[in-house]
A and B are shown apart, each in its own frame.
Chain A
Amino acid sequence: MIAELGHFALVLSLGVALFQMIVPMIGAARDRAPWMESARPAAMAQFGLLGIAFAALTVAFVTSDFSVALVYENSHSAKPMIYKVSGVWGNHEGSMLLWVLILALFGAAAAVFGDNLPPRLRARVLSVQASIGSAFIAFILFTSNPFLRLDVPPFDGRDLNPLLQDPGLAFHPPFLYLGYVGLSMSFSFAVAALIEGRVDAAWARWVRPWTLAAWMFLTVGIALGSWWAYYELGWGGFWFWDPVENASFMPWLLAGALLHSAVVVEKRETMKAWTILLAIMAFGLSLTGTFIVRSGVLTSVHSFATDPARGVFILGILAVFVGGALTLFAARAGAMTTRTVFSPVSREGALLLNNLLLAVAAFVVFVGTLWPLVAEFAAGRKLSVGPPFFEKAFTPFMIVLAIALPIGTILPWKRGRMGRAVATLRPALVLAVAVAAAVFAVSTGKSALAVVGAALGAWLVAGSAVDLWTRAGGTPARLGRLPGADWGRALAHAGLGITFIGVSLLMAWQVEDIRVANIGDRMRIADYDVTLQAVDEVEGPNYTATIATMLVERGGRQVAVLHPEKRVYPVQAMPTTEAAITSGVFRDIYLVIGDPQKGGGWAVRSYVKPFAAWIWSGCAMMALGGLASLTDRRYRVAATARRGVARAVPAE
């Protein structure tokens, strides 16, 4: 009964979305206020109905209602409660339902908090948002209905893929979707602005918080996924340049470019057409990502639902929305060229460079990801494009970006002087050189990666500190009164630096040890001693585990006692490794227990992973930076910007 209720709510929501798509748009064209106004209750109703549908599916999972096919296929009565809940989106149908729910959530948020928007723009934004919603609700109803029943309900389910039964992965998809779908808001604003034929500072001020929020959620989502891979897969890899990872990385790069170019539109009313184009492309890449994951066209290791019918449907959605938006762009972009002048050496120039680098970096990832497909269709070559290509083709752009970034943040608008900027940054430069020298001195091998990565990271972190210090006029007391956006910028840029340091030092300095160990064996790895003390068999709630007890010492002093596990989930007959990690500021120690060996003993893998935690700490800082910028009260006073009379002048 509850599943039918959810199904009914889903069908109704399609009707509401179609209404919201058509009526306000006509109202905006014919200047009929009530028609335009109808978008707001419709957006809330659409969200409410999808909320009911999602809740109904959640109830089916939580109560283990195996008469629902989806629950039977993806759940099990013995599964812990948290994974019964996360199982709702741990499959194709449920994750698409979450996708449209978040889409409707953003629409409803724009309706509720959109008091300050000009009514016509608001109506058009909500209408475009609803058109995306309609397309995806239709997609769910026609190709991926989560509420289908089984004629004969089985006694128990087939369980969720054990790899997905993990806290890191339970919350990875919702964050990723908040990011993907958040970009739909920027897209809706861009398309609405193209229909209006008007882009101004107020528009940019409206778009930026949505983009910032989307970027922040994407950062968290990607970091969670990468962290999960690090501790779950058993060798500590954190990024694979896999098509599906790239699918989330490309929108992240473009969202990063977009939130910087929106600053230029907001402050200087230039780069408007480019900003609109970025907004369209960023969401276009989100849709491409959805297409890649859902269609299985790239035979990625990720795609848990590969079905040509679904792929074609999403490709159709992609073609209509991106094609339509680009056509509109081609027709209207000419009207948006009013611009102010600026010198190449200026904040605008720096932000333009930022956009260029991020967009080209995203392009490199895009070409690399789709190249195997192109090569097979066009040249009949079956080839692979993997990490070595991306590391070589992508990294140079990040290096240039990192070198330019601190200089860009302290250049003034309009026209600046390079010599002066570099002079201000002298302390950061000195620190970066010192770090480079120190890293070079302790590197045994000739690792350029470690030296360059650490120096750039230090340059970014120290550059952010100089940036903050300069804003505060060199007075510590004024640091606390700086606007949230200043803190946000410094935090996010420093976070990028921290991630740079983590990635490069981990990749350059990792130590690995693979061997057969008997109980009582002592292994030396880097300057740590690891002793295999015991191996036990333990029963978990829905798995059996082999748990090792391993003592880690350094110079005779105990560092940690770790318990790496190897689990077997009988329902899916699938093993997983649960690495045991002790995380430190300067290194992680990462232990994995493998199979028992024929001649006795167990396969044991031990790693010392220097600066591993810095990778995700940096991501957390970037996300916090986004949050700090979002809390900047200047976004809350955007009300004054709407009439185009006064910009919201910072209340400092």
Chain B
Amino acid sequence: MRAAAVLLAAMLAATPALAVQPDEVLPDAELEARARAISRDLRCPVCQGENIDESNAPISRDLRLYVRERLVAGDDDDAVIDAVTDRFGEFVLFDPPATGSTVILWLAGPAMALLGLLIAWAFVRQRPAATSPDSLSAEESARLDRIMRDDDM
């Protein structure tokens, strides 16, 4: 499914290699874990759909090394992410911050859920009296009876 990405990466990288290389891994396990977590939320700037942790593109390797460099220098996670964003823009953030118009993105789901709940509640609560048809015919009652007994899915 990620055929094109790998293809693109293969074309970009002279010697294609698998994502994180052994020589990139930091000796400090805790720092490395933080680096991995940060890398997973940063998008590779040239290969569209992949994060820099999975990407084979050279620029992703540079970014991975840069992230580790900053962490070793003592930056906290947010400072590292900000530094990368300053250079490449918010395009590299897979986790778009809820600022400006992006608030709509984050609120769309909860708002729709709330709206749906209200409509569903109104639907359930609505008395049928207003729209109720005439009383049931004998045939319809018999059918209703069968429906009632037919209580399985």
Which A residues contact B (CB, under 8 angstroms)? 161, 163-164, 169, 172, 225, 228-229, 233-235, 237, 240, 242-245, 263, 267-268, 299-304, 337-344, 349, 352-353, 356-357, 359-360, 363-364, 367-368, 371, 375, 378-379, 381-389, 392-394, 397, 412-414, 471, 483, 485-486, 489, 514-516, 573-577, 592, 594-595, 597, 603-605, 646-647, 649-650
Contacts and interface: CB of A to CB of B under 8 A. Distances in A.
A412 B116 contact: no
Taking chain A's interface residues, is the majority helix, strand, or loop, or is none over half, making it mixed? mixed
Contacts of B71: none
Given A356-B113, A356-B117, A603-B18, A384 B94 contact: yes
Contacts of B138: none
A337 to B, nearest CB: 6
Contacts of B18: 234-235, 577, 592, 594-595, 603, 605
Given A356-B120, A379-B101, A514-B25, 13 more contacts: A163-B6, A233-B6, A243-B49, A301-B48, A301-B50, A303-B4, A367-B109, A378-B101, A382-B89, A382-B91, A412-B151, A646-B146, A647-B143
Contacts of A397: 109, 113
B150 A229 contact: no
Contacts of A356: 113, 116-117, 120
B51 interface: yes
Nearest to B115: A360
A384 B91 contact: yes
A397 B150 CA distance: 31
B73 interface: no
B17 A603 contact: yes
B83 interface: no
Interface string B88-113: 01111111100011100110110011
B21 interface: yes
List the 9 shortest-distance A-B pairs measured between CB atoms, nearest first. Answer: A386-B94, A388-B95, A301-B5, A301-B49, A364-B109, A163-B3, A367-B108, A516-B22, A379-B101
Contacts of B100: 379, 381
B68 to A, nearest CB: 13
A398 B96 CA distance: 22
Contacts of B93: 383-384
Contact of B96 (A349, A389, A413): A389
A267 B2 contact: no
Contacts of A234: 18-19
A299 B16 CA distance: 22
B77 interface: no
Contacts of B123: 352
Nearest to A574: B10
Interface string B1-45: 111111110100001111111110100000000000000110100
B146 A647 contact: yes
Contacts of B128: 339-341
Contacts of B153: 263, 267, 485-486, 489
25 contacts: A229-B2, A301-B2, A301-B5, A338-B133, A341-B127, A343-B124, A349-B124, A360-B113, A378-B101, A384-B91, A384-B93, A385-B105, A386-B41, A386-B51, A386-B95, A387-B51, A389-B95, A389-B96, A486-B152, A486-B153, A514-B20, A514-B22, A573-B10, A594-B18, A650-B150
Contact of A342 (B41, B124, B151): B124
A267 B3 CA distance: 45
A235 B152 contact: no
